[in-house]
Amino acid sequence: MGKLLVVGTVAFDAIETPFGKTDKILGGAATYIALAAKSVADIDTAIVSVVGEDFPEAHLQLFKDRQINIRGLEIVPGGKTFFWSGKYHNDLNVRDTIATELNVLADFQPVVPKNYLDADIVMLGNLHPGVQLSVIEQMTAKPKLIVLDTMNFWMDHTLELLLEVIKKVDVITINDEEARQLTGEYSLVKAAAKIHKMGPTYVVIKKGEHGALLFHDSQVFFAPALPLEEVFDPTGAGDSFAGGFVGYLAKSENISFENLKNAVIHGSNVASFCVEKFGTERLVSLDNHQLKERLKQFTALTQFDIDLS
């Protein structure tokens, strides 16, 4: 059973969708990733992140209850927690950012807890590439797998540093528009080929409601998103996907292309729950039986039987 280290934001989110709105609720990439990973597999998981003194004990307790190690979650005395606020359009693929208050994130210097300096899998959630790089450099043993998530903001503002991180990771997860921006290629097949050359052995291109593509050299695998009656709140879907992905890999300790196919299905599976309610609400109430039942739906959704002889 592998050890998983998750780096990313722990945040307050205020979300508005066509179906309702929230006050400041628990959010952040590391939050979704860790919760999703733990729901897929009971693996040894730690978060490296930062919050302010305003971060409620109840949220910390949530992590503890789920046996997510928060020794690496720094609490800055007198500081305020990172805050993001966004509003989704009727087409939930489009959202406006209302507010981004970095607060304690602005000066964050990550410290990886001693017990996790030899983690098997390092999941770098979306964050300043400098923070991601610092975590990679702290690792005393080479991780079996480093997975990177990032976004267009870092391509716009810290591209060189981001490219340095990309060079050091085994897997990158990125959405279709970002893959196009990073490579200047419209075709996702060509974009993935270019990203391979930047470093990562595996390239995962996320297409939201249109699923995700996993590229490995000339091979490609596709995991659909589950067609849902209603998507309630897409916040955290990409991070839940990443969490399910690394959670499954940490448990199965097999990083072959064949097993990564399974991992993206597990990622899509968890993500399909995440979007059913606001924020982390659905992830928190998720149980093993529900995950397994929906995996059957993914199987029915995609598996066919054509005689290829």
By CB under 8 A, name the binding residues for a copy of itself. 90-91, 186-190, 207, 210-211, 213, 219-222, 224, 227-231, 258, 261-262, 265-266, 292, 295-296, 299-306, 308
Question: What are the distances in angstroms from CA 130 to CA 121, 123, 133, 160?
Answer: 19, 15, 5, 10
Question: Shortest Cβ distance from residue 130 to a copy of itself (Å)?
Answer: 33
Question: Shortest Cβ distance from residue 272 to a copy of itself (Å)?
Answer: 12
Q: Which residue lies nearer to a copy of itself by CB, 167 or 210?
A: 210
- Planar angle of CA 83, 266, 304, nearest 5 degrees: 140
Question: Shortest Cβ distance from residue 37 to a copy of itself (Å)?
Answer: 17
Structure tokens at 141: 């043993």
Contact 76, 58 (CB under 8 A): no
Question: Shortest Cβ distance from residue 264 to a copy of itself (Å)?
Answer: 9
Contact 123, 145 (CB under 8 A): no
Rounded Cα distance, 66 and 36, in Å: 11
Question: Shortest Cβ distance from residue 293 to a copy of itself (Å)?
Answer: 9
Q: Which residue lies nearer to a copy of itself by CB, 99 or 308?
A: 308
Q: Which residue lies nearer to a copy of itself by CB, 160 or 229?
A: 229
Question: Shortest Cβ distance from residue 291 to a copy of itself (Å)?
Answer: 11
Contact 129, 154 (CB under 8 A): yes
Contact 84, 11 (CB under 8 A): yes
Chain centre to alpha carbon of residue 270 = 11
User: In what helix (H) or strand (E) does residue 216 lie, and over which residues does it extend?
Assistant: strand 212-216
Contact 124, 155 (CB under 8 A): no
Q: Which residue lies nearer to a copy of itself by CB, 73 or 204?
A: 204
Residue holding tokens 């983690």?
119
